[in-house]
């Protein structure tokens, strides 16, 4: 074969060239290489032998022609900051990259019109599947008009039980924190968390109260302190708890920002962390956890693993296997200096 037999731009062997050497049409060559279509076994083998001898390597367009796939997956997120969606995306890319699948990232910024636009754009590009994620663990309404494109929801589950969702085990994460505090001898545990209308805050608060009650203890201060996900709230709430329950010996906080604020208040008011009062956060957000004084013990939600498993379930769906329900990913407790 001469240089002129190769693709004029890339120099690669083309599907048409393989078909010519095998003495079949391009369509027959495509079916033979894809393992589809009805043909005589010797015809299929002749095409396969020709492709192997010519070192045929299909480009992305050819792969799409051969398999009816574009080898692309859309990832739709509402988390413009990327604090939660970026680790999920990285985990998904690790799993998808092994199959040489590209990811198209679409940030809706929480806007329904923008989300619809991105869904339509991804469908126009004939993506093989879609992963949907966001900044909260609250369930969301499923995407509409997907035209049968496989879709998996990661971190932010779908409200439709027929959909496939991969979520963090929020209750398991809270259990790790509370049982660690009780196991280390803490008996006056306060819980400061985010807004009560957020599922993460509600779920963690409920389990915290249950576990403390099962240990025949009472929540320090007598109630859960709901507020917002900020350092400022952590400082204010910790001050309130210490004023009403000065014998508090531990804080379990709904996220690392709250925990860092609580640690600031404890230090300013002369309490040693963790000698006098232990502090545990949630999220294992390095920016907060490592910059806190002292560095925070915190619950890690294993976000990359959520992304990886979501990608694997999406690949299952793309391959025609039925996937549905909610699969939870265990959290882990990262021990540092605050507890």
pLDDT in tens, 164-180: 999 999 989 999 999 99
Q: What is the predicted pLDDT for the residue at 5? A: 45
> Chain-wide mean pLDDT for the chain?
90
- Region 48-62: mean pLDDT is 76
Q: What is the predicted pLDDT for the residue at 4? A: 33
Beta-bridge partners for 107: 77
**312 Cα distance to chain centroid:** 12
d(CA 80, CA 59): 33
Q: What is the predicted pLDDT for the residue at 29? A: 82
109 vs 278, more confident: 278
- For the cut 70, the answer to whether the pLDDT of residue 1 exceeds it is no
Beta-bridge partners for 132: 76, 153
What residue ranges of the chain are covered by domains with CATH 1.10.260.40?
A: 15-58
Class for domain 170-300, per CATH?
Answer: alpha beta
- Region 83-102: mean pLDDT is 86
Fold of 15-58: 434 Repressor (Amino-terminal Domain) (1.10.260)
Bridge-based pairing state of the strands 297-300 and 102-107: unpaired
Confidence bin at 35 (pLDDT 50/70/90): low
Q: At what angle do helices 231-244 and 256-268 cross, to 10 degrees?
A: 50
* CATH number of the domain located at residue range(s) 71-169+303-331 in this protein: 3.40.50.2300
- For the cut 60, the answer to whether the pLDDT of residue 63 exceeds it is no
User: What does each C-alpha distance from 66 to 44, 61, 265 come to in angstroms?
Assistant: 14, 9, 63
**278 Cα distance to chain centroid:** 29
Q: Does the model's pTM come out above 0.85?
A: no
Q: Is residue 170 within 8 Å of 113, Cβ to Cβ? A: no
Q: pLDDT over 90 for what percent of the chain?
A: 70
Confidence bin at 8 (pLDDT 50/70/90): very low
pLDDT in tens, 299-335: 999 999 999 999 999 999 988 888 999 999 999 999 9
Is it true that the peptide bond before 142 is cis, omega within 30 degrees of 0? Answer: no
What residue ranges of the chain are covered by domains with CATH 3.40.50.2300?
A: 71-169+303-331, 170-300
Q: What is the predicted pLDDT for the residue at 67? A: 55
Q: Which of 29-43, 82-96, 262-276 has the lowest mean pLDDT?
A: 29-43
Q: Which of 27-31, 189-193, 312-316 has the lowest mean pLDDT?
A: 27-31
**174 Cα distance to chain centroid:** 19
d(CA 191, CA 220): 8
Report the 10 Å Cβ neighbour count for 321: 10
Torsion of CA 138, 338, 82, 114, to 10 degrees: 30
- For the cut 90, the answer to whether the pLDDT of residue 274 exceeds it is yes
């Amino acid at each position: 074969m001469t240089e002129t037999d190769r693709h004029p731009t890339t120099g690669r062997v083309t599907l048409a060239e393989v078909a010519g050497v095998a003495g079949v049409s391009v369509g027959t060559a495509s079916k033979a290489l894809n393992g589809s279509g009805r043909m005589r076994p010797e015809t299929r083998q002749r095409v396969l032998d020709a492709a192997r001898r010519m070192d045929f390597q299909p480009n992305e367009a050819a792969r799409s022609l051969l398999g009816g796939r574009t080898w692309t997956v859309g990832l739709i997120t509402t988390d413009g900051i990327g604090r939660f969606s970026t680790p999920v995306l990285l985990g998904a890319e690790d799993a998808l990259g092994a199959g040489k699948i590209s990811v198209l990232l679409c940030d809706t910024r929480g806007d329904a019109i923008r989300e619809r636009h991105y869904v339509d754009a991804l469908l126009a590009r004939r993506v093989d599947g879609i992963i949907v994620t966001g900044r909260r663990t609250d369930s969301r309404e499923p995407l509409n008009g997907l035209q049968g494109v496989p879709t998996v929801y990661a971190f932010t589950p779908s409200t439709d039980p027929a959909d496939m969702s991969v979520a963090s085990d929020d209750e398991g994460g809270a259990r790790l924190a509370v049982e660690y505090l009780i196991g280390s001898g803490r008996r006056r545990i306060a819980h400061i968390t985010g807004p009560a209308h957020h599922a993460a805050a509600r779920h963690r608060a409920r389990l915290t109260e249950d576990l403390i009650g099962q240990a025949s203890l009472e929540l320090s201060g007598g109630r859960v302190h709901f507020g917002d996900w900020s350092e400022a709230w952590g400082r204010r709430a910790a001050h309130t708890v210490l004023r009403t329950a000065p014998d508090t010996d531990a804080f379990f906080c709904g996220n690392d920002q709250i925990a860092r604020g609580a640690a600031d208040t404890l230090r300013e008011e002369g309490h040693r962390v963790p000698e006098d009062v232990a502090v545990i956060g949630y999220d294992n957000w390095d920016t907060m956890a490592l910059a806190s004084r002292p560095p925070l013990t915190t619950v890690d939600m294993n976000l990359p693993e959520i992304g990886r498993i979501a990608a694997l379930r999406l690949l299952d769906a793309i391959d025609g296997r039925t996937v549905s329900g909610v699969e939870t990913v265990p959290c882990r407790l990262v021990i540092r200096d605050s507890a």
